[in-house]
Structure 1
Amino acid sequence: MNEPHLLSRRHALIGFSATALGLGACATRPAPSPVNALFAGQVNDQGFMQSGYEGFVQAQKAFGLSGRYIDKVAPRKELLEAALRDLAGGAAGLVIAHGGQNNAAAQQVASEFPNVRFVVTQGNVKAANLSSYEVLQEQSAFLAGALAALTTRTGVVGHMSGIRVTPGLKGRAAFAAGVAATDPKVKLLTNFSGNQDDNALSKRIALAQMDAGADVIFTMLNAGRQGVTDACAERQTRQIGNVIDWTQRNPGVFIGSAMATVSKAVFAAARDHAEGRWQGGVLRQIGLEDPEAVRLALAPDVAAPVRAALESVRRDIAAGKVRIPEQYTGPEFTA
């Protein structure tokens, strides 16, 4: 397989001026410096990267921001660093690195460009000119675990992801905890394949999990989700999606979707920069208190008692009564 080129695309996104937005007469603040963004994946993956990209475009339109983005960069530290250096050059005021796989690269490059602001979305790094903005997808992942445990008929459920980055690991730990808290007798099969976008690989692993008894599979994949969806359609197995509401797209396959609208993290970072409220050295978190950002979507055929049980869990999480672990220590599934 050919590896993505370092900078496969450079895209200039022309910001909307304040005048074009009808704000010219009222504008008193000078135009904010450009906001650039890195998406270490495909911005049309119908998942995590696309959601972040949509937040970037929304912020450009809303706040008259100019800037550009780079996508299709392999998630290797040296390649991410090179892309971030490219984006930090010139007149950049803020560089947003979308995804926790950028943690180490952003720390390094932020130290080289002290006059540029950096944000890692779904990250956990901080410095004088570096902050992290995080949508707490682990809260909806815990609810996804509860849904899987409540709806499995075989007593076996699956989890599938690609690369082992902090958000994915936290999401897996939360899902596992939701399963165990709801029904400790349910068996969990969990796999990180090493690739978020390979449909042939994801289908093979999904079929192997089904052969091992899984009848509900939680996927934390990007473009590679379609392989699991195809396997589920063939075997009449239910899937729980993530990031966006997959129950709206295919309710016959998707019994639920652990929504974490990560576009809100990108949008919030750009908004704070544009409005002069950005601060370095902080971790901003958005959780279930904002249902537009974090929630569990359910397919129409989810029974009323299951819905009621999930609502009780949701309230407990929002009230801080549920501790969601960040690490999983159980067995791994290999196919």
Structure 2
Amino acid sequence: MNNSEKQKLKISVLIPGNISDKGFMQAGYNGYMKIAEMLPIEVKYISGVTETADDNALANALRELASENPDMIIAHGGQCDVPVESVSIEFPNIKFTVIQGHVKSSNVSSYLVRQQDSTWLAGALAGLMTKSNKIGHIAGVRPKSLLLERAAFYDGLKAVNPDAELLSCFTGNLDDPEINKSAAESIIEHGADIIYSVLNSGRSGVVDAVKSSEKKVYNIGNVYDWTLEDDSFIASAVADSSVALFKAASDLNFNKWKANDTVEIGLDHPEVVRLSMGVNVPEGVKEKITDFTKLFVEGGIDVPKEYGGKEFDLSTGELK
């Protein structure tokens, strides 16, 4: 008997942020829609839970979904690692999957696209393109996935330009444009000519700051191909997390989902993970990035798990 001949599986999806952010949360919604359209699964979602990594808010949302006893809950985002760890213990008969997560147990697995691989390439491109030798990095929160991304970006930057300096900060909010615009303005004021932002709706504030600067400053985006959206983006570290979300649901449907597992998708699937480069990137730089990509796929580049640099203090402008 196949799944179409018996009661449908039920999957609930937690998308913590804004599903129209043209970034990570929208990718989660795209994955949800793909499940609804392509799999014989009863699926629902909730979104807009928190603009930060508020563990209590995320845990309560997970409990709300678990109270309906679905077969699986998919939590979209590494900020769900800690909440899923605790809530999954309370509901041992429900399977949990964290997208971009780093947790696993007897009823939990993590599925992720290797954003850190395209982020390493983004760091290398920034190192090759900068004229001021100062690069900005703005993220909202600090789940393990985003810390790994920063470590990868810094390593790629230093691999091609040891003299480059990274002005890295976390604003505490993924979705507020004004908070993140202020951070970008401070980083630009201190000399950065490229800013890599790892944000959701708050990215629009960074874009505004870059465009309003009298200096020549460029953006690098992530998740979505921002070079198609705005010419202030010289590149985007594409990592389509909708694919990981759909794969988790598909694996459940076809009895391939395994507990206590981590499933990764990397640069060997360029339709999912790649560095997209805009028209302002010289051909010579594009060729170098293509060479690095091949080296990655062949296993010739190891992405570090720890960040080796300092942090930019937004209140003082100092690196600490």
1:274-285 matches, within 5 Å, as 274-285=253-264
1:202-217 matches, within 5 Å, as 202-217=180-195
Determine the structure 2 residue equivalent to 1:247.
227
TM-superposition CA deviations, 1:113-145 (whole Å, max 9, x none)? 121111001011111111000110000000000
TM-score, normalization by structure 2: 0.93
Q: CA RMSD in A?
A: 1.4
User: Do structure 1's residue 157 and structure 2's residue 135 form an aligned pair?
Assistant: yes
State the distance in 2 between where 1:133 and 1:243 align. Answer: 15
State the distance in 1 between where 2:284 and 2:228 align. Answer: 21
Find the partner of 2:28 among 33, 48, 52: 52
User: Do structure 1's residue 290 and structure 2's residue 269 form an aligned pair?
Assistant: yes
State the distance in 2 between where 1:29 and 1:273 align. Answer: 16
Determine the structure 1 residue equivalent to 2:12.
36
TM-superposition CA deviations, 1:156-213 (whole Å, max 9, x none)? 1111101111111111110000000011011111111111111111111111111111
The ranges of structure 1 where at least 4 consecutive aligned residues each deviate by more than 4 angstroms after the TM superposition are: 26-29
Determine the structure 2 residue equivalent to 1:325.
304
1:73-88 matches, within 5 Å, as 73-74=49-50, 75-88=53-66
State the Cα distance separating 1:91 from its structure 2 match: 3.9
1:19-30 matches, within 5 Å, as 29-30=5-6
Determine the structure 1 residue equivalent to 2:289.
310
Matching residue's letter, 1:152: T
State the distance in 2 between where 1:232 and 1:192 align. Answer: 18
User: Do structure 1's residue 227 and structure 2's residue 205 form an aligned pair?
Assistant: yes
Aligned with 2:163: secondary structure?
Answer: coil
Q: Is the 8 A contact 1:60 1:66 kept in 2?
A: yes
Aligned with 2:212: secondary structure?
Answer: helix
Q: Which runs of 5+ in 2 are unaligned?
A: 315-320
State the Cα distance separating 1:27 from its structure 2 match: 7.2
Determine the structure 2 residue equivalent to 1:301.
280
State the Cα distance separating 1:53 from its structure 2 match: 1.2
User: Do structure 1's residue 66 and structure 2's residue 42 form an aligned pair?
Assistant: yes
State the distance in 2 between where 1:211 and 1:191 align. Answer: 14
User: Do structure 1's residue 116 and structure 2's residue 56 form an aligned pair?
Assistant: no
Aligned with 2:41: secondary structure?
Answer: coil
User: Do structure 1's residue 265 and structure 2's residue 244 form an aligned pair?
Assistant: yes
Instruction: Report which stretch shifted further, 256-265 or 82-91.
Output: 82-91
Aligned with 2:9: secondary structure?
Answer: coil
Instruction: Report which stretch shifted further, 322-331 or 212-221.
Output: 322-331
Matching residue's letter, 2:16: A
Q: Is the 8 A contact 2:123 2:155 kept in 1?
A: yes
TM-score, normalization by structure 1: 0.89
Find the partner of 2:81 among 103, 107, 117: 103
Find the partner of 1:176 among 146, 154, 157: 154
State the distance in 1 between where 2:237 and 2:5 align. Answer: 39
Aligned with 1:34: secondary structure?
Answer: strand
Q: Is the 8 A contact 1:157 1:216 kept in 2?
A: yes
TM-superposition CA deviations, 1:82-136 (whole Å, max 9, x none)? 1111111234111001111111111111111121111001011111111000110
Percent identity reads 39
